[in-house]
Amino acid sequence: MLTKHLAQVLDTLNMKALLIWAVLLNFYKLLKTGDCTSTHDQVLSIQVTTHQQADIVRNMSSQYETVLWSPASPEHIRADTEVHLFVPANNLGTVTDLLKTHHLIYQVLLDNTEELIEMQTRNESSDPRSSASYYERYHSLEDIYYWINKTAQEHPDMVKVILIGSSYEKRPLYVLKLSGRQERAEKRAIWIDCGIHAREWISPAFCLWFVQYSLNFYNLNNDITEMLNSMDIYVLPVMNPDGYKYTWTTNRMWRKNRSLSKESNCVGTDLNRNFDANWCTKGASNRPCDEIYCGQFPESEPEAEAVANFLRSHKDSVKLYLSIHSYGQMLLFPYSCSNEEVPNHAELFELVQEAAMKIRRHYRNNYKYGASAKTIYLAPGGSDDWAYNLGIHYSFTFELEDRGRYGFLLPPSFISKACNEALLALKSIALRVIQKTQPQP
């Protein structure tokens, strides 16, 4: 009897000890990782200073289940690079341990990615608190298709919808052709594409913003009136619909298109590496699993081919090419595919310099500007370089807001500022190009 009681007491004590031990162990773990909220996916900003550290972070981003936000590919990580890395909760401990072991300084950029994603995808028609307009929200692919149709129907005098091809998964690629009401013979044109990269949601949002602005302010705002009277404007709101759809349904961090590869299980080609401009040289990858995979051959992807075909058949009228990306706040021009300067480098430099100055003055925001390869990194196979070589000598890529505070997860409340800045830059450049390309009588 006594022994039985004793055994029970001992048992309870054991249990208690075990419990205390477990609590202590967890506490130790917490201390060790310095991370009390590891139930959240995070985005880390990592300061890489030495070559050795660059190696570590490069390997880390490919070994662990993480997503590199910036730069676009591990090979661009060098000494003196600020790296933005998305780390799912289950890998946070391992990743931060590794960083600490190698004396890498890092800070948590975002700890609330799930919340931000929820904010970006919230269907606001069911949320009476929000008074934000349609253009200050992000929209699903279905919404955007619906919007394209409706916009064309409501403005039959100024908008035409052109089907330029279809995506790998057979979704239509629609271009909106905007025209002023003044008939002019031999009209010049501007091309704008958005959403080459699926996760850069502010980009399609800009295309929608721009179309709406053009239609609302034609004959009210002098700049847009002059633009639409002298040029037709072709707008492709979502160049990568399959990828965009995928970011809404499955993986918010997806960048490439969704084509299946013959030699690998990995999905997707980087459409901005698939054009025929020093295709698949340094700065692109021939490995299908990489984020900057160049595809099987130039224009192997139906999305890139459709755009290239359209521009080839309109190359005499299109004077200005513009591709909208995010993030980083940069106004870029060719080349991306080599360190060479284009013949009209000085002229293009002046255009982006002036545009950046206007953004600084009006919105107190700094944009970097310059030739792509020197301003970010070598990136062959880009649409802007290809368009330039086709003969469209005013060719630009804009990287919209921000600089990494929210990165791809820019909250809806920032859409209007990001778009107004880009609009200002676009107007500034377009009006100059109109002067420069005036047809000789």
Eight-class DSSP state of 136:
G
Looking at 8-16, 40-48, 382-390, 408-416, which segment touches ligand ARG (CB under 6 A)? 382-390
Residue 434 engages ligand ARG in binding (rule: CB under 6 A): no
Residue 72 engages ligand ARG in binding (rule: CB under 6 A): yes
Q: At what angle do helices 2-33 and 89-101 cross, to 10 degrees?
A: 70
Residue 74 engages ligand ARG in binding (rule: CB under 6 A): no
Closer to Zn ion by Cβ: residue 230 or 375: 375
Judge contact between 325 and 200, C-beta under 8 A.
yes
Q: Among positive and negative, which fits the CA dihedral 66, 71, 76, 81?
A: negative
Closer to Zn ion by Cβ: residue 66 or 272: 272
Closer to Zn ion by Cβ: residue 218 or 367: 367
Site track for ligand ARG across 233-272, x = CB under 6 A: ---------------------------------------x
Nearest approach, Cβ of 333 to ligand ARG (angstroms)? 8
Tell me how far apart the alpha carbons of residues 100 and 97 are, in angstroms, rounded to a whole number: 5
Eight-class DSSP state of 38:
T
Looking at 89-97, 135-143, 372-380, 405-413, which segment touches ligand ARG (CB under 6 A)? 372-380
Closer to ligand ARG by Cβ: residue 227 or 379: 379
Tell me how far apart the alpha carbons of residues 217 and 237 are, in angstroms, rounded to a whole number: 19
Task: Using DSSP bridges, classify how beta strands 159-166 and 105-110 pair: parallel, antiparallel or unpaired.
Answer: unpaired
Residue tagged active-site, from 299, 399, 401, 421: 399
Tell me how far apart the alpha carbons of residues 441 and 439 are, in angstroms, rounded to a whole number: 6
Q: In what order do the strands lie in the sheet with 67-70?
A: 67-70, 81-87, 42-48, 105-110
Residue 329 engages ligand ARG in binding (rule: CB under 6 A): no
Q: What b-and-e string marks burial along 170-195, b requiring 16 or more CB atoms within 10 Å of the CB?
A: ebebbbbebbbeeeeeeebbbbbbbb
Eight-class DSSP state of 342:
P
Residue 382 engages ligand ARG in binding (rule: CB under 6 A): yes
Tell me how far apart the alpha carbons of residues 59 and 51 are, in angstroms, rounded to a whole number: 12
SS3 content of the chain, % helix, strand, coil (to 5): 45, 20, 35
Residue 81 engages ligand ARG in binding (rule: CB under 6 A): no
- What tokens does 284 get? 């692109």
Looking at 126-134, 149-157, 234-242, 381-389, which segment touches ligand ARG (CB under 6 A)? 381-389
Nearest approach, Cβ of 116 to ligand ARG (angstroms)? 21
Among 325, 393, 403, 427, binds Zn ion (CB under 5 A): 325
183 catalytic? Reply is: no
Enumerate long-range contacts of 161-165, CB under 8 Å, 24 or more apart: 162/234, 164/236, 164/306, 164/307, 164/309, 164/310, 165/302, 165/303, 165/305, 165/306, 165/307, 165/309, 165/310
Nearest approach, Cβ of 272 to ligand ARG (angstroms)? 4
Residue 288 engages ligand ARG in binding (rule: CB under 6 A): no
Nearest approach, Cβ of 21 to ligand ARG (angstroms)? 50
Closer to Zn ion by Cβ: residue 56 or 337: 337
Residue 274 engages ligand ARG in binding (rule: CB under 6 A): no
Closer to Zn ion by Cβ: residue 218 or 248: 248
Residue 197 engages Zn ion in binding (rule: CB under 5 A): yes
Among 278, 285, 372, 389, binds ligand ARG (CB under 6 A): 372
* Residues taking part in catalysis: 399
